[in-house]
Structure 1
Amino acid sequence: MPLFMVHGNGVDHRILLPLDEVLAESGVFERHYLDLPGFGQCEPLADAGGLPELADWLEHEIGAIVGNGPFALLGNSMGGLLCQEMADRFSDSVQGMFLIAPAVYADSKQRTLPDPAVAVADQDLLESLSERDKQLFTDVAVIQTRPAWERFSEWVLPGLVSANLRAMAKLSKRYFLQPLPLHREGRLSNPVSIVCGRHDHVTGFEDPHLLATRYAELRINVIEQAGHNVHIEQPEIVEGELRTWAEKVQRLLLPK
């Protein structure tokens, strides 16, 4: 089954590559890693370049690949909000969603957020980093250890430094969906799993619970000692949740 992987704001598809081994082992999915316009290798949009335009672009990309066929979605942060949007636009085709630290509200002022926190910090490591790398890492990292830094520097940092700043500026001016998926009617009956970090001060861990009104088979795991990059900081737990979700989706493919 095609699985479309949608990254968040300011990064690119590489932030989701740590999940590839588990997804490959599942044998369920044909994996499509997408760079949104203005990120990674994808050119910015020529028009307004806001969230509605990114959603239209994503709808076109998915439709060009699957037509009306079945597929699944995996989204991180802003990508999680775009996946919610796609689940509404392709309501008869989406067989499930796996969301990592998803945005539920586009407007950060509407989000319920915990205070920033650090669970563990390796001061020797932090002092060894350049000021730029230290700032980018500690902006979101709850686990500030060498293994966490190595995963961050491999999977997250390249997208951060390559993002098109003009595209991000245009996106920030039109960072909304009307109405939000949360506020629409209809329910997706196929498996939806969400993983959040307890200390995620970017999208939070409380708002995703509101999505129970939209998703009949919703599972949420709020992971301790993790922040916004929860799959970087607690990979084993997230991988376990991903395996469980993939098995649920696989059961949908079995002959009735």
Structure 2
Amino acid sequence: MIAETHGDGFPLITVHGFGVDHRIMLPLEEMVGDTGWRRVYVDLPWAEGATDTGAATPKEVADAVLSEVREIVSDEPFAIIGNSFGAMVARHVAHSLAPQCLGLATLAGAFELDRALRELPPREILIHDERVLELAGEARAEFEEMAVLHTEAALRGFERFVLPGIRGAKLRVLARLNATYTDAYVPELEHPAPFTAPALHVFGRQDHVVGFADGLAAADHYPRGTFAVLDSAGHNVHIEQPEAVGALVREWLSRAASHRLR
């Protein structure tokens, strides 16, 4: 379901993660700016206001988004970026529509859906500030669960872009999909040919949710891929390190635009 669209140009499809909604991807508005891409923000079935498609597995969610992207882009070129669980969805779409996909990016991407098999760094908080945690108020638990940096900037970003999706999520839909979340669907295995368009995969070094090692293991599959592991960043890497992520995303989109001109 399309939640928001901004700008003009070829579509840049954005796909959010599990338990949140499209608003977690809205920092891209400042990162991308006027770069000639039409940003299309998609909501997954548990998002507030989204239609429950009845999908029961991660693959069914990905297939539903693939169908929607086909309607959005028709036969025109596009790029796609996904966060966390949405990275799996984005990779599925990009591989399925590879001939017209100009680029693929992931932010804190889940490359291993089975939580028990993930290679994770230990939980680490680099900046602890009790004053900031007190400022979080009722959102303290949600913020503290993910935050690597207890700073006002990180808190404000969390409150603006992450918390609304958490609070508005449909718990019944999440529970249904959580039961099959660990289904080992890997787009790179279903589509074994390397993905040759420009790619970007950004991870937080302190991401204790999906880690970074499983994503780095896919490097050979992306011969035109940039892989970046950012220090002082956890699972909300683009919230905690917006300038670094923004620079990487803009550079990726420049490469994708050049790919279009070939």
* TM-score tier after normalising by the smaller chain length: over 0.9
Amino acid at match of 1:4: I
3-state secondary structure, aligned to 2:34? helix
Does 1:21 find its partner at 2:30? Answer: yes
CA distance, structure 1, for counterparts of residue 84 and residue 184 of structure 2 = 18
TM-score, reference length from structure 1: 0.94
Q: Distance in 1 between matches of 2:184 and 2:101?
A: 21
Alpha-carbon contact 1:187-1:214 (below 8 Å) kept: yes
1:32 aligns to 2:8 (yes or no): no
In the other structure, the counterpart of 2:75 is 68
* Structure 1: runs of 5 or more not aligned: none
User: C-alpha separation between the residues in 1 aligned to 2:136 and 2:251?
Assistant: 37
Amino acid at match of 1:112: E
**2:93 aligned with 1:86, yes or no?**
yes
1:109 to 102, 116, 120: 116
Aligned partners of 2:16 and 2:25 also within 8 Å? yes
Q: Are 2:147 and 1:138 aligned?
A: no
**In 1, Cα distance between the equivalents of 2:257 and 2:100?**
15
TM-score, normalization by structure 2 = 0.92
Partner of 1:42: 50
Distance 1:17 1:207 in 2: 26
Which residues of 2 match residues 1-256 of structure 1 at below 5 A? 1-27=10-36, 29-45=37-53, 47-130=54-137, 132-176=138-182, 179-184=185-190, 185-254=192-261, 256=262
4+ residue segments displaced more than 4 Å: 176-179
C-alpha separation between the residues in 2 aligned to 1:48 and 1:189?
30
- What is residue 3 of structure 2 aligned with on the other side? none
CA deviation map 1:16-48 (0-9, x unaligned): 101112323222x11100111121321222x34
| More off after superposition, 94-103 vs 210-219 | 210-219
CA distance in 2, matches of 1:252, 1:181: 22
* Deviation, structure 1 residue 70: 1.7
3-state secondary structure, aligned to 1:121? coil
Aligned residues: 252
| Alpha-carbon shift at residue 210 of structure 1 (Å) | 1.6
- Contact kept, 8 Å, 2:16 with 2:83, in 1: the verdict is yes
SS in 2 for 1:153: helix
Check whether the contact 2:120–2:208 (CA below 8 A) recurs between aligned residues.
yes
Q: Secondary structure at the match of 2:98?
A: coil
Q: Call closer, same or farther: CA 1:179–1:77 in 2, change over 3 Å.
A: closer
Q: 2 CA distance for matches of 1:90 and 1:222?
A: 27
In 2, are the aligned partners of 1:142 and 1:226 still within 8 Å (CA)? yes
Identity of aligned residues (%): 36
Cα RMSD (Å): 1.5
8 Å CA contact retained: 2:102, 2:260: no
Structure 2 unaligned regions, length at least 5:
1-9
SS at match of 1:73: strand
CA contact (8 A) 2:136 2:143 kept: no
